[in-house]
Amino acid sequence: MTRSTEKWRKSFFWVMDTLKGGQIKSHYRDIQFILEKYGTPESDERRKAHLNNLLEHAVNNTEFYKEYKEYETLKDFPIINKSIIRERFNTIQSKAFRNKKIHKMATSGSSGTPFTTLQNTNKKLRNTADTIYFKQKAGFEIGYRMYYIRKWFKMHRKNMLTTKMRNIVMVNVTEFTDDYLAKLITTLRNDSSTKVLLSYSSALRDICKYLDRVGAEPIDANISCIIAMAEGLGTYTREALKKHFNAPVLMRYSNMENGILSLQLTDSDTHLQINWASYFIELLHPDKDIPVKDGELGRVVVTDLFNYCMPFIRYDTGDLARMEPNSTFNPAPAFSEINGRKMDTIYDTQVNVQSTFIIFHLEEYSEIKQFQFIQEGQKQYRLKLNLDGSFNHEDKIITLFKSYLGDDAEIRITYESEIAQLSSGKRRLIINEYLPEEIGKVTLSN
């Protein structure tokens, strides 16, 4: 009966799309063509047309971009960021959509000021098609049940009818206790439907720590895949999820203002395949507007090819990543690492940028329930630990971190009863209270 219901949901979705003109299917086919024929003249022409159409619309319909009418290439446009969008909100909006239906997208501002953007209906449809295409590639079909693990704000909560229609189970990270997690695991075991877990990485880590702590048996829950988002995922969490749930574990990189930028498509390759069908992505030097080489750490700068209502052209997401050639899916460049926000960057004592993934070494210690790493100065660091029981590995951890940060690093460890979540429900693993003021001091570390 469950399989029949899943097939019915999928068929119903596409029938409804057909009755509305088949717009999602059209976008889906365009995405499929561009990505699966990437590198061919036909695919390149479609991507070029999408970019040119967006740029022409922007210079002819927005106050902000009208001065760039004489542009020759994308590089003639300025880099923008959240602050610029907030300050120039009205001038970035397209006059072509002033009397048309638009969609407001808003974040809670978990680590800063709330951020609001606008999208036209075609952009929303493109996002839906992106989601369907990439989830299918990951093993998540329309009709499968999704356990969505995040903090559910009032603005995000869906009414019961909408939730049932979309086959979503809302799991709230702010309610995580042993009792809550025990009930969640029981629900997963008893739910015979094919399902997917979509979750903050930190929430998945909390679930794994709980399951290890109680000595849980492997969970046979018919999980198609587990998709982690919002933060990095360490080796411990990946392996623990596979052990407990026997399902592939994948990473997603997305944001509220744009959509799905990239997704890991197979458990055997950790590269995140970039959504070149809907975005043009550049990686620029952390402190200069010049491209970085393959494999170097750079700022993720996105041009959204389908938001005509509020054009995002060369939008600095605030995230750092590495990109390199990868042929797992297609010949397109892929992300080899998503390093998080620039404001959460770790610098060693010589002001070299270090990979934030060094903190995941802490996952190997079963006594550590939660952790947070803070850079307080050029050579001053603090490691906050929430422990379960006694712990005597401080010297080993300090030696390990000094091997990355420098022998002159001053590392102190403090102990906390709880490491607070952000208002978004995410748990911030890295905080940088020191940012070099002299751009010339910053260098990159591979």
Per-residue pLDDT of 61-88, as tens digits, reads 999 999 999 999 999 999 999 889 989 9
pLDDT bracket for residue 162 (50, 70, 90):
low
Q: How far apart are CA 79 and CA 2, in angstroms?
A: 49
User: For 92-124, how does the pLDDT look when each residue is reduced to its tens digit (9 = 90+)?
Assistant: 999 999 888 999 887 755 555 577 899 999 999
Q: Name which of 383, 365, 366 is nearest 374 in CA terms.
A: 383
Query: pLDDT by residue (tens digit) across 287-309?
Result: 889 999 999 989 999 999 999 99
| Residues 198 and 144: beta-carbon distance below 8 Å | no
pLDDT of residue 424: 56
Which single residue is written with the structure tokens 């491209």? 291
At 154 the pLDDT is 56
As separate numbers, helices (DSSP H) first and strands (DSSP E) second, the chain gives: 11, 20
The answer to whether domain 1-78+89-274 and domain 346-439 are alike in fold is no
pLDDT band at residue 145, thresholds of 50, 70 and 90?
very high
Q: Looking up tokens 């679930």, which residue turns up?
A: 207
116: which residues sit within 8 A by CB, 6+ positions away? 89, 104, 105, 106, 107
Q: Which residues contact 362 (CB under 8 A, 6 or more apart)?
A: 368, 371, 385, 397
Mean pLDDT of the chain: 88
pLDDT digits (tens, 9 = 90+) for 275-284: 999 999 999 9
H or E element: which one contains 137? helix 121-138
pLDDT at residue 159 in the model: 60
- Side chain identity at 141, as an amino acid letter? E
Instruction: Please state which of the four CATH numbers 3.40.50.2300, 3.40.720.10, 3.40.50.300, 3.40.50.980 is assigned to the domain occupying 1-78+89-274.
Output: 3.40.50.980
* Phi, psi for residue 223 in degrees, rounded to 5: -95, 120
**Prediction pTM value:** 0.81
Locate the domains of the chain by residue range: 1-78+89-274, 346-439
Q: What whole-number distance in Å separates Cα of residue 361 and Cα of residue 237? A: 11
Distance CA 397, CA 392 (A): 10
Q: Minimum mean pLDDT among 211-225, 315-329, 333-347: which range?
A: 333-347
Q: What fold is seen in the domain 346-439?
A: GMP Synthetase; Chain A, domain 3 (3.30.300)
- Report which of 208, 206, 209, 253 is spatially closest to residue 228, judged by C-alpha positions: 253
